[in-house]
Amino acid sequence: MRKRTLAFGFALALGSITTLFAAPAPVYQYKLKTIDGQPATLSQYKGKVLLLVNVASSCGFTPQYKALEAVYEKYKDRGLVIVGIPANNFANQESGSDQEIKTFCTRKYQVTFPMMSKVSVLGADKTPLYQYLTDKSSDPSFAGDIKWNFTKFLLNREGKPVARFEPATTPDSPQVIAAIEAALGK
């Protein structure tokens, strides 16, 4: 009987250690608000490929909304979710309220992908999600401050960043499409 108890205790301890190492990717822990002000966590997208984009309504890159929507429509049934995250960190190019941003995106670009409430992606008030995405301890190859609106982070189905694309790289560029298809293929 004592051998069984020890074996069971060892198995329990081993299970706890395994659980510790199998913890969910940090990205799933972050909480945001939807553009409608409802609480949201990225954990709702577990198992999906995510393209997180800091967006703005009055930027030279704003027409990328059209390509973002087209890419979302093309790949959403295969598991891609694009998440628009408005930010007003660059030249006051996203100065409107969440409702004004939502109206602009749906009327001008017919956006149907999820949009979050406006956050900061740079500076002392940077939202924790972007602290994680830009920190070298998360992934040194994608680290560094956001340089402008429409920076794109691609995360695989496990919530791990696998690519970062700077604003001038459009969502429908061959590089972005290849990375999305590779992430979806897994």
Residues annotated as part of the active site: 59
Pairing of strands 49-55, 80-86: parallel
Among candidate residues 144, 162, 146, the one with its CA nearest the CA of residue 27: 162
Name the 3-class secondary structure at 81. strand
Side-chain half-sphere of 4: how many Cα atoms within 13 Å?
A: 1
Rounded CA separation 77/86 (Å): 24
Rounded CA separation 72/76 (Å): 5
Tokens 């061959």 found at: 174
Rounded CA separation 84/113 (Å): 7
Tokens 């790949």 found at: 75
